[in-house]
Amino acid sequence: MIRFRRPGAANGVIVTDSSRKIDLGTHALRVHETGSGGATFVCLPGFLDDASVWTGVAAALADAGRVVCVQQRAHGDSTAPEGSCSLDGLAADVVQLLDALGIARAVLVGHALGGLVAAKTALAAPDRVAGLVLVSAFAELDGRAAADWRHVVRAGEVNRLQGLARSIFGPTSTREVDGDGIGLTEIARAVHALGAQPVTAQLAAIRCPVVILAGERDPGGTAAARILAGAIPGARLEVVAQQGDAPHTGAPAAVANAVRSIAG
């Protein structure tokens, strides 16, 4: 069973200047925006998290540029297209979103699944990505993790949102998940596929500046971050001391500093 600690955004509320849904044709994504300036930072949350997890980071970056916090497909009131989901599809969402928002290039900041999506976006559209900050991210699954994600998929197939929440956060967790249970299950299926088809070797083609952050209290330790650092040319690995359970919520200033360091 996968056990993710719940990030510490208060009441699931993100304080930004505006919130809107962006129509991508087959589905729509909720975005929250704040800040202004020449640089643009796009923040992608992990599986089952909403955009509120970026509240602290967004506040810390608002004076440095435009901050766009994305609710990924099937999460909250972001919708999902019918059918299966792939990591390439999630990366395509980001590129379409950049197009719709008139953003030529952005620094992508992603946590866990969001970090993987950010990396895949850099591979698919390198001219659109000015840099990457990957927080507690991963690019492959060992046997145990693959089995855990298979359990998540099965729980989603059987019990939809409640099954997904219990499989990720534990059977005694009271956390509720909001979103499209079918779409979320398809995302979990795409993650599970990393067990047989890791993307680690692909990461050697990334050419933008990259900072990889691992929290010293990450449930999975720093192994996945070290694999990423070894796979991406020139990537810088930092282990973050945090007060809470995840670097972007427990140490938002450290994450913001990492973003600023590659923003130019």
pLDDT tens figures, 152-206: 999 999 999 999 999 999 999 888 899 999 999 999 999 999 999 999 999 999 9
Alpha-carbon distance of 132 to 261, in angstroms, equals 11
pLDDT, tens digit, for every residue of 89-134?
A: 999 999 999 999 999 999 999 999 999 999 999 999 999 999 999 9
- Residue-level pLDDT at 168: 94
DSSP 238-253: EEEP-SSSSHHHH-HH
Evaluate if residue 3 carries a pLDDT over 60. no
- Residue-level pLDDT at 133: 98
- Residue-level pLDDT at 219: 82
What's the mean pLDDT in 35-57?
A: 95
CB 187 within 8 A of CB 113: yes
If pLDDT is split at 50, 70 and 90, which confidence band does 221 have? confident
The contacts of residue 140 (CB under 8 Å, 6+ apart) are 194, 195, 198, 199, 200, 224, 227
**AA letter at 204:** A
Q: Could you list the beta-strand ranges (E) of 147-244.
A: 210-215, 236-240
Sheet holding 65-71, edge to edge: 18-23, 28-34, 65-71, 39-44, 106-111, 129-135, 210-215, 236-240
Domain ranges of the chain: 10-141+199-263
Evaluate if residue 16 carries a pLDDT over 90. no
Alpha-carbon distance of 31 to 16, in angstroms, equals 10
Q: How far is CA 82 from CA 113, 116, 164, in A?
A: 20, 22, 19
If pLDDT is split at 50, 70 and 90, which confidence band does 14 have? low
Overall fold of domain 10-141+199-263: Rossmann fold (3.40.50)
**AA letter at 150:** R
